[in-house]
Amino acid sequence: MFRLDADRPVEFCDGTRRRDFLHAGALSTLGLGLTQFMGMKAHGAVDPKKDVNCILLMLVGGPSQIDTWDMKPNAPIEIRGPFKPIKTNVPGIEISENFPRMAKHADKFSIVRSMYHTAAAVHDTGHQMMQTGRLFQGGVEHPHYGCVLGKLRGPKGDVPPHVLLPRPIGATGGNMPHGHSAGYLGKSYDPFILNADPSDPNFRVPDMLPPDYLSAHRVDRRKNWREAIDKSVSKFETSQDARLLDSSFQQAYTLMSSAKARAAFELHREPEATREKYGLNRFGQSCLLARRMIEAGVRFVTINMFETVFDEITWDIHGSKPFSPISCYKDLVGPMFDMAYSSLLEDLSQRGLLSNTMVVGVGEFGRTPKVNPAGGRDHWPQCWSILMGGGPLKGGTIVGASDEIGAMPKDRPTTPAEVAATIYKGLGIDLETELPGAQGRPIPVVDRGTEPIKELFV
């Protein structure tokens, strides 16, 4: 979040230090992607006729396929678990009883029931693959879908192209990157990170606003001060960071002072009934905020449903502390997701936004078919389910199938790379597009030969 008057010094990649006249408190140095505000366009990489947005719901912890969207009611009790299936508004599609509102909107989303990957069964690797399409290897961090979109399309008006809500994923046990950054594209394409809880009654985004104590006189003085520093630090002046700041100063100030950008974050403008419908919790209000972001012109919104899997009730149902019991799917996590996801789909549809906004709900893996001795389920990347719909993607469709106990794909095995290709195709990005990668090597947005999930397209 930007401030014009922060006094904290910043060290840039060339080793020089300079007062941070543009402080990105939640984004690391220059993390909002100032160069994006120069209106950079990539010729041929993006189909201008397909101006599609995306909301990615990262269901941190890894939802159990058997207890959510691929139930096995005829399996033994140690497999099928404690929950029962219910019918949806699409004949032939059933989901868990923990999602009664979601069942009324099954025509708006599709379920891919044959996801799998072969990497280590740890949260971090799953986060990487489900947010970039690739596993990070050899020190190369691949960019998040929203960061790629921001680079290729740039912003619409004064709002950033990619916003991450409410906070980045924290510790999940692997000590590896989670895939939410711009990776080798550079920090200038990182997402705007809210870094605040929108369900807090006192929620506001103060650093998006010109500080109350920052008068026009002080802005002018800061500009004069900046010019003096620019003249005196020759090494800094020749650095890439200096050129970035010089070319983007006005655009950053425009963002801060934009009434449209400020208004998008003002949840108090929403009727109380609407806020309650989404759920007065961090995830629910983040989903409502995402809808406001899309309305304001943000192209891509990532929502992390949880920040960690430790000492917090999440999808990570190992059954014993510091993890969650399976009962939380009925008592807390299930209702929380049911309210927010259903309200988001309903709102987008009623406002005419679902036709050009993909809504994708993914976990990093599934859970073991057999309930463990603690009464929970452990990590299982061999098979799980995800949700995809909106924009050019079909609703009311089942893609793939798992076997009788939800252990392995039985039909149409689907990889995270194919999900990435599907998202990029939905966004109108040519899958042959190459990005400037590590050590200057061009890297295609998806691995060569990877195809989208064709069954999802109309």
Q: Looking at residue 205, what is its pLDDT?
A: 72
Separation CA 75–CA 151 (nearest Å): 47
pLDDT digits (tens, 9 = 90+) for 108-121: 999 999 999 999 99
Can you count the helices (H) and strands (E) in the chain? 13, 20
Q: What is the amino acid identity at position 308?
A: T
The answer to whether residues 397 and 109 touch, using CB atoms and an 8 Å cutoff, is no
How many angstroms separate the CA atoms of 406 and 24, rounded? 45
Q: Are 392 and 411 in contact (CB under 8 A)?
A: no
Confidence of residue 246 (pLDDT cuts 50, 70, 90): very low
- Span 36-184+270-385+397-456 CATH architecture: 3-Layer(aba) Sandwich (3.40)
b vs e for 390-423, b when ≥16 Cβ sit within 10 Å of the residue's Cβ?
A: bbbbbbbbbbbebeebbbebeeeebbbbbbbbbb
Cis peptide before 48 (omega within 30 of 0): no
End-to-end CA distance of the chain: 39
Sequence-ordered strand ranges (E) for 144-223: 162-165, 192-193
- What is residue 255's predicted lDDT score, i.e. its pLDDT? 56
- 230: confidence class by pLDDT, cuts 50, 70, 90: low
What's the pLDDT score for residue 96?
Answer: 98
What pLDDT digit, counting tens, does each position of 267-290 carry?
Answer: 999 999 999 999 999 999 999 999
270, two tokens: 């929403």
Name 302's bridge partners.
56, 164
Kindly state the average pLDDT of the residues 227-254. 48
Residue with tokens 């469709």: 397
Averaged pLDDT, 134-141: 94
Please give the pLDDT value at position 231: 55
Task: Give the per-residue pLDDT at 261.
Answer: 83
What is the rounded CA–CA span in Å between residue 6 and residue 437? 32
Q: What pLDDT does residue 219 have?
A: 47
SS3 string of 39-78? Answer: CCCCCCCECCCCCCEEEEEECCCCCCCCCCCCCCCCCCHH
Which of residues 43 and 416 earns the better pLDDT score? 416
| Domain boundaries along the sequence of the chain | 1-30+206-264, 36-184+270-385+397-456
Q: CB neighbours of 166 closer than 8 A, spacing ≥ 6?
A: 194, 195, 196, 197, 198, 282, 286, 303, 304
Kindly report, residue by residue over 297-327, the tens digit of the pLDDT. Answer: 999 999 999 999 999 999 999 999 999 999 9
pLDDT of residue 49: 64
Which tens digits make up the pLDDT trace of 45-100? 777 667 999 999 999 999 999 999 999 999 999 999 999 999 999 999 999 999 99
Which tokens in the block code for residue 337?
């997701």
| CB neighbour class for 44 (10 Å; exposed up to 12, middle 13-18, buried from 19) | exposed
